[in-house]
Amino acid sequence: MSQEYVFGWHAVDAVLKREPERLQRVWIQTGRQDKRVKSVTDALDGLGVPWKVVHRKELDERVSGVHQGVVAAVAESREWTEDDLLAQLAASDKPPFLLVLDGVTDPHNLGACMRTADAAGVQAVIVPKDKSASLTPVARKVACGAAETVPFVRVTNLARFLRELKDQGVWLIGTAGEADATLYQADFKGPVALVMGAEGKGMRRLTREHCDQLINIPMLGHVDSLNVSVATGVCLYEALRQRLG
């Protein structure tokens, strides 16, 4: 069975609560005896999942990143397909609320975007298969469990999939520094997908051409751009504000 690692207490706890069948083995750093550890180990015992107390060095050797004293080996998560997402949107009675990340290659930024997407009620995060970060252990850890709750869809041809979303009545709002309209002039209340580009380069040309509207985030200081995960948070929460009425 294929295997991957999840680390950090939020990420491991999210798998434990939502996809316990994926858990294969857990390692916990020696010296931890708090309530959180007991809660997790009791749950693991109840599921029959083996766990072991080890020195920090062993955890450091298993993963690269701040593991917070816990690492889990898990079965690979099922990756959503384009058809999976389209079927979910067709079956839902809620207007689609999606996030498209075009060219975000830093797993820390991806994880942060996933975390905010979960908090804002986004139904799926969509990325191209090429020139994009994947859900690495680092991305999952930064996502604090959101990688286990928000469908992550990697599409072979992003421009083609954006056309499919438009055919489904989804309005595509892209961010671009040179746009004439601001974030606060956009209408996010209906079926909508927010499209964010990579830092520096922004969206690719074909992605930009498929957007129904381009907006910018007002910048009143001396810097001319925001980190992509911060910009995503700003946009998603303006969208959420509108969608909450």
Question: How far is 171 from 180, CA to CA, in rounded Å?
Answer: 18
Q: Which amino acid is at 53?
A: V
Beta bridge partners of 215: 175, 181
Q: Does 217 show up as a binding residue in the annotation?
A: yes
Question: How far is 150 from 213, CA to CA, in rounded Å?
Answer: 25
Yes or no: say if 128 and 160 are a contact pair by the CB < 8 Å rule: no
Q: Token match 């931890």: residue?
A: 32
Q: Does 226 show up as a binding residue in the annotation?
A: yes
Q: Does 174 show up as a binding residue in the annotation?
A: no
Q: Token match 């074909």: residue?
A: 206
Question: How far is 211 from 160, CA to CA, in rounded Å?
Answer: 12
Residue count of the chain, please give it: 245
Q: Max Cα separation, the chain?
A: 58
Q: Token match 């701040």: residue?
A: 66
The radius of gyration computed from the CA coordinates of the chain, to the nearest angstrom, equals 19
Annotated binding site: 197, 217, 226
Annotated binding site for S-adenosyl-L-methionine: 197, 217, 226
